[in-house]
Structures are given as structure tokens and as C-alpha cells.
Structure 1
Amino acid sequence: MENPAVHGRERDLKVRTRLQDDAWLHPWLPELERRAHYAGEVERRLTGGSIPLRDFASGHEYFGLHRDGKGWVFREWAPNAAEIVLIGTFSGWEERDDFRLNRLNGRGDWELRLPEGAIGHGDLFRLRMRWDGGGGDRIPAWTRRVVQDAETGIFNAQVWAPDEPYRWRNPPPARPDFPLIYECHVGMAQEREGVGTFDEFREHTLPRVAAAGYQTIQLMGAMEHPYYGSFGYHVSSFFAASSRFGTPDEFKALIDAAHGLGLTVIIDLVHSHSVANEVEGLARFDGTPYQYFHAGARGEHPAWGSRCFDYAKPEVLHFLLSNCRFWMDEYRVDGFRFDGITSMLYHHHGLGTAFTSYEQYFGGDVDDDALAYLSLSNKLIHELNPHAVTIAEDVSGMPGLAAPHEEYGVGFDYRLAMGVPDHWFRLVGKVRDEDWSMGGLFHELTNRRPEERTVHYVESHDQAIVGGKTMIFAMMDAAMYEAMHAESTDLAVMRGMALHKMARLATFGCAQHAYMNFIGNEFGHPEWVDFPREGNGWSYRYARRQWSLRDDPGLKYHQLGDFDRAMLELYNRDRASFAVNLPGLLRVHEDDKILCFARGAYRFLFNFHPSNSVEDYPVETGPDLCRPVLDTDESRFGGQGRIAPDQTFRPGESAGPHEIRVYLPARTAMVLLSSTWGPPGEYRTRSRIP
């Protein structure tokens, strides 16, 4: 069964549909315009219309601890505080008058000036704060380093002022036109059971990522968080790199080395909420629950047990926008993945809500102030670096998130295609292989708003975090423990191997703008992800990556890793096919479980049937010669080697003038390159479909 409406068609990314041209959005254009104007009003209110947004977002240069030429100056915003004293190793943790802060103004700014030598590099400190009716110790909100005592578990801020500042060596690489993103976590990147370090990641993991063919890394959990098991989602100190992985200079060295390898670096930015801790975090920082957060029930996240920022407060916007700029200024990151966007966008946080109509994106449940903040943060980031990358994690599908500001959009470069992994896991876990819908699969892989760029992926950390499994483990389960040797013919393993490769190839081939993989999943990392906690005896067994599985040529993990690298090489072989062209459907046959689509000069052919191979199957390709460039059934990729290598398909020889006939074994995919022959051994690709 073919779809003549889209048969052999291709959309050109250079002609992106404008948000205003979407007929479904016509009733809501006034609302989109109102939102854009509101974001502009918020910016004018913050800047007074007289300074650039980047100058407003420079709070990190004013607040916190700094040298000022004569000594040290420390500033903090705490409007409800009645008294603040800096205590630390320099004062024997006692209150001293010479470390007492002075109130600067009616806004609640406090300041302390100290002579050179009063404090020094490595000193620990915190604030002892009092307010009407109470008091307590607090870690400064703008501190750039926080460390935890290994014996007591107590967190303190630390003076970080080495004699020699870090010297950067490598400029950032050019922004990729089709990002191949390697989502990773520094602490779980090593094989030993324990917490990995910035240095280990720089020395051992970065070279693996570059060799695997990825050109972008997405670092999760980079900001300081008191509970390791939160995966970095419950941030406590927004301006501090997590010290459990190493020092600020070691993190800079990691980013510097990544740039030297040609890797773009983005980090996870959690501005959707904050940890509820009071000493380590921002909760009740100055004695009030509403300093940074909403008052009452609205300030408490009902599902995450965390605190919700009040995006209507200028001081909160100052804090968060400055946080965006800080990581770009101080650590030279190339962009951000904004976590938990859905929770920010709606007063109901998206909980228990199935987004089934456009009305839900424009009703009273939408938080205008959060939307304005996201718009301003994207404007700021791209003003600081026009080549920066911003990605929105939103499950609701709100229109306009990844559309430009001039089209009334929020300005993200990409949004995660979160429905794609959900679809894959539903298929492999809940639908019989014989009942998979090929048309439904292609629809899910391509049904994205053409005016908004998306990141496609089969699985991220979300699918395997506590309670879930990696995709391959969901298919193989116990067989992974005993039948993953290279020569295994275990049926569960053969099915899992085949579908693991085919799912990634289909997703990669249909990825309209970017592709992502979670660390280790490219070679079929087994089991699940579980950080040390009381429920697992504080074990690190599942909070690491077993690279030895990938490195062992006697195991099928090695074959999966090799396939992933060969798959990504398709992009490097003909970048225009991915950067310029979108997938166009060639053939769908539900009974045969055949799916064929084109991507520029490539033809992707899939036979998802669990048992039926097809011979002389007709596939329209155009008038050009075709040759296979990738085959999931190759023996080097753990397949059965059923497709003859080095074939050449000439349209018209055994079929129509623009058609070839192929042999597609069951559970196999093949990629053909349509080309015109040049000198022997060379070819010129063509980026069109006749």
C-alpha cells in the first residue's frame, strides 16, 4: 500500500513554513502576538529600555564573592534578613564583627568588604543569617563553588581564587548544521563503581564520543545538587559546577578539550524548579518562603517535592538570566538543554494532562511570566552567542517554542521529539511484532511541525532511570546475561539486536533536524540506570558505563557500537542529505511490514516482519544507479549476512525505469545511495528525488 499524496516528495529546510502560516494556529495568532509583546514589556521593565539585556543579566559580576583591586567584596540579596555574618575557616566558624555585612539599600542588598589576606583560596564559608522570629545558616545564593565534607556530609561554600586563572587553549567549534548529540553524565561515565570525575571524563570519555562520530555533548547534572540520586534535577547552587566531579578548573579543562576535539558542549539548565533544601538551597533563604519562589501552595511542586520560581519577580529574572550568561562567560558552554519546560509553562505543571487540543496551549492554565522568561533567556543566549544551541524539553508540544521571536515564537533552536521514544518503547514492549503499523511508525517519526526544529532519539536517560530499562534490555531481559557472545543465536538476542539497529536507523534517517543518544546506549548498554540510594544499599552498580562490553570483540555490544558509528557516518558521507532534505515516503506495506523512504540521495529500506523475507521487492528510486552503503544484517554488525555485499542496482533492468528490485530479509534494513558514476571508485551524490 503506497501513499500517493507524499510519494517521492521531499521538503526543503531552506523554505521553512512560518508559524503564522499554520492554518491550525490562525485562531490563536492574536494570542501568540500578545505573548510576544508581553515578553517585550517584561524586558523593557527589567532594562528600563536604556541598557541591553546582556548588561541586565550580569548579576554574577556584582553578587557573590569577588576581588575588587583592594581586597574582597561580597554581596547578597536578602530583603527579609535583619543581620548577616560571614563565618568560615578564617573566623574559626565564629561570628566576628569584621565579617558582618552591611545593608546597602531598600532592595535588600547586603555587602561586606574585606582587606587582602582576610580570606584565601580554599577557605570554607557560609552565611549566618537572622530575621524577625528566627535565623539559620545559608550557603550564599550566588556562590561559585560548594563542597561537601566527606565525613559529616555538610556542605559549605568555598573560596575559589587560584593564583593562576585557567588559560583556555581551544576556540569553540562551528555550530553543526545537524547536531549529533551524545547525552552524558560525568559521574556515571566510568566503569568503576563510584563517582566519575571531570578529569576521567576528559581523558577517557571524550575521545570515545569523538571517535563514535558524535559532534555535540549534552552534560547532565553539571550544576551543584546535594542529592546525587536526583541526577542533577534538584539544583541547590546554580552558579557552582558540581564539586563531586572536580574543581572549576577541571570542568573548564573538560570543555576546552571537548572544543579541541570539535565537540560542541551544551549543559542541562534546570530553571523549572529548585531543591527544597534550606541550608544548601534557596528555600526560605532570608526566612521567607517566597523570596525566590511563589508564596503558598503555588510555590511547591506537588510531584517533585521542590520549589517553583516566581517568574514575575524582577529579582528572580535577574538571578536566572544572569545564570544563563554566567555559564557562557565563565565556562564557555555552547548552549543549554532547558529541563522541565512543561512544568514551567502551565500552572498545573502538565500533571495528569493529555494535550489533545490547541485550546490547552492558550487557555488560562498557561503561565505568561514563565513563557516571557523563556523568551528572554533565548534572546539573551543568542545575543551573547548567535551560534549557541538551545533545546526545550517539553512533552506538551506547545506551538511556537522552537520558532523565532520575529514569528511570535519563544526562540528555542530545537525541541525534543519526546513522542518518538514513547512510541518505540510501546512497540517493543506492548505490541506484537506482527501488528506493528508501518504507516503509524513513519507518521510518528515525521509528524512534527515543519516550522520548528526537533531532536529525534530512540531513548534518553529518561527511559532507563529508576523503574525503567534500556530498550535492548526491555527486549532481551535475562538473555543479555548469558547469550551476548558474538556467535550467539539466541532468539531473544537476535530479535533485540535486529530491532535495536533498525529503530536507531529509522529514527536517525527520519530525524528532521538533530539526533540524540544517551551514553552507552549506542552499544546496547544493559539493564537500567539507578543512582546510589537507600533502596539499593547505596550501590553504584547501575550508575556507571561498562565500556569493557563495547571494547570486547567477542561480544555483540561491540557489533552494535560499530553499527552506530557506521550509521552516523552516513551524515558525514553526504551532509546535504540530512541538513537540506527531509524524509519523503516511498512505500508502506502493512502486511509485508515494509517501510521505505528517501532522504536526499539516500534510500532507507526496512523489513520489520519477524519472519517473512521478500525477494525482488519493487522500490522506486529515480533514474540513477544505487548501491548499498549500510546493511543492518552485515555479520560485522551481528547480523546473519544474508544480503550480498557490493551490489549495484540499475533502475529499469528488472523493473520500471525509476524502480529497482531488492532482496530484504526479515528484520533487516538497508540504506542505498543514489548516485551518478564518476571516475572509477568515485561518485557524486545528488540531493533530489525525481
Structure 2
Amino acid sequence: MAFESPTPHDLYLFHEGNLFQSYRTLGSHVTNQHGVEGVLFSVWAPNANKVSVVGDFNHWYGSNHEMNRLEQSGVWSLFIPYLGEGTVYKYQIESQHDGLLLKADPYGVYAELRPKTASIVRNLSGFDWQDHEWQKQKAEQSHFKRPMNIYEMHLGSWKLNDDKSFLTYEQLANELVDYLVSSGYTHLEIMPLSEHPFDRSWGYQIIGYYALTSRYGTPEQFMHLVNRCHQHGIGVIMDWVPGHFCKDDPGLRRFDGSPLYEYHDPKKAEKLLWGTLSFDFGKPEVCSFLISNAVFWMDVYHIDGIRADAVASMLDQNFDKPQEQWTLNEQGGTENLEAIAFLQKLNKTVFQLFPHALMIAEDSSDRPLITAPTYAGGLGFNYKWNMGWMNDTLRYMELEPEQRRHHHNWITFSFLYAYSENFILPFSHDEVVHGKKSLLNKMPGDYWRKFANLRLLYGFMAGHPGKKLLFMGSEFGQFSEWNDNEFAQLDWQLIHDFEKHRQINEYKKHLNSIYKQQSALWELDFDPAGFTWIDADNAEQGVLSFIRKSQDPNEQIVIVCNFTPNVYHDFRIGVPSSSQMYELLNSDEERFGGSGCINSGQYHAQSIPYHNQAYSIQMTVPPLATVMLKTSKPN
């Protein structure tokens, strides 16, 4: 592909905040000009006195390759003949105040392996994508009415090689994809993939937004991973960090010697909680940069969607700041009006270009309309993490069972607002690190009760309206919290050495399989017609029961959760029809590590009205367990 210097029209759109594929204009591109192969470099640095391209090719001496300023645009450009793919480079910027700066390319698509920080010229075209069926399926079937069971992972600590080195993208394309398929997940969510200097930032403090991290291999290897995910029916979601960036010298901070990507006012720019800087969402060029970045990952790498990190910190310009650091917007409030406008524009643009994309907000605020369309005043995301559900549910589950009846509202409150947004129910990495303990170790009681509580929790999660997300290691009951240190991986030996961990892993696979097969568990996730209470008020016995429904009136599932260690025999429960019923799931099965209180055979509903239902049955309710009963005959 031939690349030319940015045109006046390109520059106009860029400065208007409307150049949504600015990565095709800025950055470094292998091209041919006047019959000569070389690399075209373009960078935005409006306050620089002079900009040069430096690298091994000129002994890092900038005078030989000074860039040309394109009129008054603030964009500098230079074609250097005879350079090619693999060229290592930075921009040497002579600033008005800070002297000479050496900066990585904000639009660089590849970078040196840390601790080195230079950009590398890379041609990302030419990969032979074989995911046409996947793309066709996305266009034909609404994701809202499909199962979504997301496996969240950190690539560097899932598994390691024997020599403690990271698995490559190519290795993951085989081992990880096979694992996801056999475990019954529908989507993979990868913690930030963009280049970052510090391993233990997990990728959330970024230095190169367009540069796929080189820790795990090459861009082509990652394309192979995404391609193989799609070929096996697995969608790929990327954690994306539009709210803030790291302060490392080669990065975006004071890029041309002035606050360029960040706010000029330090009170507004500083993210004190994380030691980072906020993007200036009021600058059109920053909007072009960020919106193009979201588009870039979907366009070039076929990513199916993004999970936008820390949206609450974007919406409130005083998020987690001491009062002396507070600022007010032009209306006298604390909302970041520029960030709100940016997010609306981001979502509107992405859906225009990729109508079937997943745009997910990780938002801990109580702001309404996060997933409402922009024309209705919403932010325009199509999903939001349900942080309230996560917090209330874990707080409830950490209680000793005899205490739960005093806090019954913690487990029922989320149903009151379950349809106010399009929710994903997350048990993410944030809940199992920094002293918070693993999900298994949060559960109260002795060894048996911990596993029983965890099986109960996963069953309750599967039955609750909303899509699902689980962080790696939780599926086999990792006892230790996530170890994010270097040279650490998940405790895979637990599955092989301890029966309880093997059993809960088998239970989670079985539950995932049921979830995918049963349309009542996902088809009407965002329609109140898909849910009916049976009994929400039995706090004393600790039993919760409800019905999930699909569009087919014959496809209904009764879900009974017992949050106590008591066994209830001949327990009467209202059911919606006179159809025969059978036990679809019982988390207390012995093969899953339970006590074996199961309901074998089929139930014949009695014409005894109960729980506001026309019919009822009597059943055994097992201890600390989730039971699912299906109201139609098994296949």
C-alpha cells in the first residue's frame, strides 16, 4: 500500500476530532515514493521547535533527518528512503521549554521488548484471515440474545513455560483456545494488550496505545490467536484504557514539551490514585487519537469488542481526589463534560463502523443510561459491568450462613435494577488480588463448605439475569489469590493433586455447558419478561427461588438457591405449569464434591397453588446448593 504525507483534508479532520482512522495517516508506514522504497513518518507535535527521526540508522543523531512541519497544522512528516520493516526509531523533539526529548511514536504499532522503549516499523497488512464464518455469524445473530460467558485473563500469568518464560501468542493460540472450548466459554477477555513498561501494572498504565505488547511475540502471532479463537467460536474482547496514561518519559506526558495529550491544569490532569495523567478529552486531536485506537484494534486485529476501563474515573473529574484538588466544570458541577461527550462520540463512531461490536463499560458509578443510546441521552455502550451485584453478592456470600438471614436484601437487591442497564455480571481480577483473597477463600466455613458455597455462587450467577464474566483460576477454585508477580502462573497442580479442585472444575464445565444449551438462561437477559420471582422473601430459611424464561413459553427453568447448610425435605415450591419437571442441575451432586442430596426422576406438578403460581411441587433442597429444574421434558 502506498502512503502519502497527510493531506489538508486529513489534517482538517484530525484537528476537528473526526479522523477516525488516523493510524493510516500518522505513525510510520513502509511505502514507495517516486519508485523508492522507504518509510514515511508523521507525528503531531504542535509546540515543538524542531522534530527529527532518530535510530540506529543515523546513530541516533537527529540533524540528518529533520522532519517537515505541514503548514500550521502541528503535524510533522518525513519520508526516509531505503528504510524498511524492523527499523527501530524514536522522535527527537526540540521543545520550547524542556530541551531535547526522545519520545516513542504515539502511533507506533510495535515496540522494543521492555525495558527498551523505542518504536519499531512494522507492516500489519497481509495476514490471511480465516474467520469469515465468525464474522457472518456475528452479523446474523444478536449478541444480546446469545449466551455470553467471558473468561478474563492476564496472558503473562495464566501459564508459563518450563523455563518460566511467557507463553507466546502462538502457543496460546493452541493451548488456550483448546482450553476455552473444552471449558464451555464463549468469549475471551484479555487484560490490556497495548505496550506498557511495568509488568505489574497488568497493562493498565500504557506507553504505546497502538503497539501490541512484544512480551508475548509478534503482531502476526497475535492475529493467529484471534483467528483461531474465531474459528472455534470464541469472541475476543480487549481491556482498553481511555481514561489515563503513564508518566514514563518516552510516552505521552508533555510529548512536545507541553501538556499535549493531558490537561493543562494539573488539578484536572493528575490521577493521584494511580500516579498517571488523564487525557484531555476536550482536545479534538486527542479524540481522533483515542477513537482511532479503538477502531484500530477492531480493524487491524479483528477484536470483537473492548471493555473500557475505569469509566467512573472519566465521568467525575474529581474522582478519588482530595478536596483541595477539586475542579468544577463550566456549569459549576463535577462531571467531566468533555469525557461524556468523548464517550458518546466513541460509541457512536464504533457502531457506525462495526455495528456488531461489544462496547463494555467498567463503571462503578450510579450514573444512569450508561447503555442507553446516545440519541436518548445515554453514553451509548451496549454493556455495563454490574459492580453493585458483584459487591453485594460477595459481601453476602462472605457471611457465615447463620448471619445471612439478617442481610437477605444483599442477595435480592440486584434484581430490582437488573433491567436498568444491559449488565455483565463480573467476578474479575480486581476481586482476587491485593489481599482480597480468591473467590474460594472468601467463602466461609470449613473445607467442604467453602467448595459448596462456591458451587452455589456459580449456580446463582448462571441463573441471575445478565451476561457472565469470570477471572482465570476461579474455575478450578484457586485457593490463593491471583499472584501477579513475575514468573508466577495459576496453581494448575491443584486440579491434578486435589480431588475437590478437580471436582469444582468439572462442575464449572458442566454448568457452562448447561448455560450455553439453555436459552432461558440468556435469551431474555435484558427483558423483564424473562424473569419471574417464585419466592424472594424466605430470609429465615435462606432459600431463594425464581424462574428464567426464553421466547419459547415451553422453555422455562426454575432456579432454587439454598444459602444455608440445612437440608429441606418435602419443600414445597410454586411452579409455572403442570408440565413434568426434571433436575437439570444440582450443585450438590457427589461427582462435584457435594453430599448427594439430589432429586432423581421426574416431578408431576400438583394443582396446589403456591408462591403465586398455579401449581407446585415438593422437592428436597440440598445444603449450600443451587438446583435448576426444567419445565419441559429432556431431549
TM-score, reference length from structure 1: 0.81
Q: Give distance in 2, aligned partners of 1:633 and 1:556.
A: 13
Q: 1:108 aligns with which of 46, 49, 74?
A: 74
Aligned-partner SS, 2:206: coil
1:86-106 Cα offsets, whole Å, 9 max, x none, are 111212333342x21111121
Question: By how many angstroms is 1:350 displaced?
Answer: 5.1
* Structure 1 match to 2:533: 585
Aligned-partner SS, 1:68: strand
- Native 8 Å contact 1:290 1:299 kept in 2: no
Task: Give the aligned residue type for 2:24.
Answer: E
Q: Give distance in 2, aligned partners of 1:298 and 1:406.
A: 28
Q: How does 1:300-379 map to 2 (within 5 A)?
A: 300-349=270-319, 364-379=333-348
Question: By how many angstroms is 1:574 displaced?
Answer: 2.3
- Native 8 Å contact 2:520 2:548 kept in 1: no
Which of structure 1's runs of 4+ aligned residues deviate more than 6 A? 46-51, 653-657
Q: How does 1:159-558 map to 2 (within 5 A)?
A: 159-161=121-123, 165-171=126-132, 172-173=134-135, 174-175=137-138, 176=143, 177-192=146-161, 193-279=164-250, 281-349=251-319, 364-429=333-398, 431-437=399-405, 439-448=408-417, 450-457=419-426, 459-475=427-443, 492-510=446-464, 512-532=465-485, 539-541=486-488, 544-550=489-495, 552=496, 555-558=499-502
1:256-314 Cα offsets, whole Å, 9 max, x none, are 111111111110110000111121x1001101134443432211111110011111111
Question: By how many angstroms is 1:433 displaced?
Answer: 1.5
* Structure 1 match to 2:87: 123
Q: Give distance in 2, aligned partners of 1:169 and 1:669.
A: 41
Q: Give distance in 2, aligned partners of 1:48 and 1:141.
A: 17
Question: By how many angstroms is 1:373 displaced?
Answer: 0.5
Task: Give the aligned residue type for 1:125.
Answer: Y
Q: Is 1:561 the counterpart of 2:470 in the alignment?
A: no
- Native 8 Å contact 1:166 1:249 kept in 2: yes
Task: Give the aligned residue type for 1:336.
Answer: I
Task: Give the aligned residue type for 2:467.
Answer: A
Aligned-partner SS, 2:131: coil
Relative to structure 1, the CA distance from residue 352 to residue 259 in structure 2 (aligned partners, 3 Å threshold; closer, same or farther) is farther
* Structure 1 match to 2:3: none
- Native 8 Å contact 2:583 2:628 kept in 1: yes
Aligned-partner SS, 2:244: coil
Q: Give distance in 2, aligned partners of 1:291 and 1:49.
A: 18
Aligned-partner SS, 2:490: coil
- Native 8 Å contact 2:167 2:216 kept in 1: yes
Question: By how many angstroms is 1:475 displaced?
Answer: 3.2
- Native 8 Å contact 1:456 1:508 kept in 2: no
Q: Is 1:659 the counterpart of 2:616 in the alignment?
A: yes
Task: Give the aligned residue type for 2:543.
Answer: I
Aligned-partner SS, 2:291: helix
- Native 8 Å contact 1:553 1:559 kept in 2: no
1:415-473 Cα offsets, whole Å, 9 max, x none, are 000122222332243x331121474144234232524200013x210012223211102
1:462-498 Cα offsets, whole Å, 9 max, x none, are 012223211102337xxxxxxxxxxxxxx61111111
Q: Give distance in 1, aligned partners of 2:480 and 2:160.
A: 14
Q: Is 1:94 the counterpart of 2:61 in the alignment?
A: yes
Aligned-partner SS, 1:545: coil
Q: 2:117 aligns with which of 155, 178, 192?
A: 155
Aligned-partner SS, 1:455: strand
Question: By how many angstroms is 1:195 displaced?
Answer: 2.8
Question: By how many angstroms is 1:575 displaced?
Answer: 1.2
Task: Give the aligned residue type for 2:621.
Answer: L
Question: By how many angstroms is 1:632 displaced?
Answer: 0.6
Aligned-partner SS, 2:343: helix
Q: Is 1:602 the counterpart of 2:557 in the alignment?
A: yes
Question: By how many angstroms is 1:524 displaced?
Answer: 1.0
Q: Give distance in 2, aligned partners of 1:47 and 1:398.
A: 36
Aligned-partner SS, 1:147: coil
Q: Give distance in 2, aligned partners of 1:48 and 1:69.
A: 21
Relative to structure 1, the CA distance from residue 129 to residue 57 in structure 2 (aligned partners, 3 Å threshold; closer, same or farther) is same
Task: Give the aligned residue type for 1:549.
Answer: L
Which stretch of the first structure deviates more once superposed, 304-313 or 193-202? 193-202
Question: By how many angstroms is 1:352 displaced?
Answer: 8.1
Relative to structure 1, the CA distance from residue 450 to residue 494 in structure 2 (aligned partners, 3 Å threshold; closer, same or farther) is same
* Structure 1 match to 2:29: 66
Q: Which runs of 5+ in 2 are unaligned?
A: 1-8, 324-328, 550-555
Q: Give distance in 2, aligned partners of 1:652 and 1:60.
A: 66
Relative to structure 1, the CA distance from residue 428 to residue 606 in structure 2 (aligned partners, 3 Å threshold; closer, same or farther) is closer
- Native 8 Å contact 2:603 2:617 kept in 1: yes
Q: Give distance in 1, aligned partners of 2:189 and 2:104.
A: 28
Q: Give distance in 1, aligned partners of 2:608 and 2:370.
A: 48
Q: Is 1:641 the counterpart of 2:596 in the alignment?
A: yes
Q: Give distance in 2, aligned partners of 1:342 and 1:107.
A: 33
Q: Give distance in 1, aligned partners of 2:182 and 2:334.
A: 46
Q: Give distance in 1, aligned partners of 2:423 and 2:473.
A: 22
Question: By how many angstroms is 1:68 displaced?
Answer: 3.4
Task: Answer 1 or 2: higher relative contact order, Cα 8 Å, separation at least 6.
Answer: 1
- Native 8 Å contact 2:462 2:515 kept in 1: no
Relative to structure 1, the CA distance from residue 294 to residue 507 in structure 2 (aligned partners, 3 Å threshold; closer, same or farther) is farther
* Structure 1 match to 2:553: none
Relative to structure 1, the CA distance from residue 147 to residue 107 in structure 2 (aligned partners, 3 Å threshold; closer, same or farther) is same
Aligned-partner SS, 2:501: helix
- Native 8 Å contact 2:206 2:246 kept in 1: yes
Q: Give distance in 2, aligned partners of 1:463 and 1:451.
A: 24
Relative to structure 1, the CA distance from residue 214 to residue 294 in structure 2 (aligned partners, 3 Å threshold; closer, same or farther) is farther
* Aligned residue pair count: 589
- Native 8 Å contact 1:190 1:201 kept in 2: no
Q: Give distance in 2, aligned partners of 1:658 and 1:49.
A: 68
Aligned-partner SS, 2:61: coil
Q: Give distance in 1, aligned partners of 2:45 and 2:76.
A: 7
Q: Give distance in 1, aligned partners of 2:269 and 2:13.
A: 32
TM-score, reference length from structure 2: 0.88
Q: Is 1:671 the counterpart of 2:624 in the alignment?
A: no
Question: By how many angstroms is 1:405 displaced?
Answer: 2.2
Aligned-partner SS, 1:604: strand
- Native 8 Å contact 1:194 1:540 kept in 2: yes
Q: Give distance in 2, aligned partners of 1:373 and 1:558.
A: 46
